[in-house]
Amino acid sequence: MTVKSPDTNGLKYPHTHRPGFWLGFIDFFSAGLFFLLYMPLGGLQDELDGILGRRTRRYWVAYLLGIPTLFIYPLVWMSRIAEELKEIARNMGIEGPWTSWWHMFGWNTFGLPLMGPAVATARFFDTLNKIEDRLNSLQG
């Protein structure tokens, strides 16, 4: 028997309206430390695992591997997840624009100074929110 939580109305993915731009903005100015807390405590890591159908590398591991690689490793890691989300959104018939490998990597690398990561994260979360919304509507 499953007990539905009153604060989430029993939704499998209760965080379908994450403000991606602001999450990316905060994360950029905290040098990635914000997502060290947000990924596990905000449920994002588990939600990505559920949507992708596999256990993803933990963000803290990607972050630590980023230190000797000048944070290229976490960028590539997140870009790969973005590409997987794009394919899932396409297969579900969700209309774009979607996140993608190039969108995530390009905006983080060549984007507007200080704003590129926020733009990339906004599109990432927009795609993730749409997928979660669709999955929630199919639930039940």
pTM: 0.88
Please give the structure tokens belonging to residue 65.
């591997």
In a domain, 9, yes or no: no
Q: How high is the pLDDT of residue 1?
A: 33
Please give the structure tokens belonging to residue 86.
């794009």
70: domain range?
20-138
In a domain, 117, yes or no: yes
Q: What is the rounded distance in angstroms from the CA atom of residue 125 to the CA atom of residue 13?
A: 13
Please give the structure tokens belonging to residue 112.
């507007």
Q: Return the half-sphere exposure (C-beta side, CA atoms, 13 A cut-off) of residue 13.
A: 23
Render pLDDT for 20-74 as a digit per residue (tens, 0 to 9). Answer: 999 999 998 898 899 999 999 999 999 999 999 999 999 999 999 999 999 999 9
Query: Is the pLDDT at 82 greater than 90, yes or no?
Result: yes
- 8 Å CB contact between 99 and 85: yes
Tokens 């997928």 identify what position? 131
In a domain, 125, yes or no: yes
Ordered alpha helix ranges (H), 13-112: 20-29, 33-41, 44-52, 59-66, 72-91, 101-110
Render pLDDT for 95-128 as a digit per residue (tens, 0 to 9). Answer: 999 999 999 999 999 988 779 999 999 999 999 9
In a domain, 74, yes or no: yes
Q: How many domains does the chain have?
A: 1
In a domain, 126, yes or no: yes
Q: What is the rounded distance in angstroms from the CA atom of residue 112 to the CA atom of residue 34?
A: 21
- 8 Å CB contact between 102 and 9: no
In a domain, 8, yes or no: no
Share of the chain above pLDDT 90, in %: 77
In a domain, 103, yes or no: yes
Q: What is the rounded distance in angstroms from the CA atom of residue 22 to the CA atom of residue 35?
A: 12
- CB-based contacts of 101: which residues, under 8 Å, 6+ apart? 79, 80, 82, 83, 86
DSSP category for residue 56 = P
In a domain, 10, yes or no: no
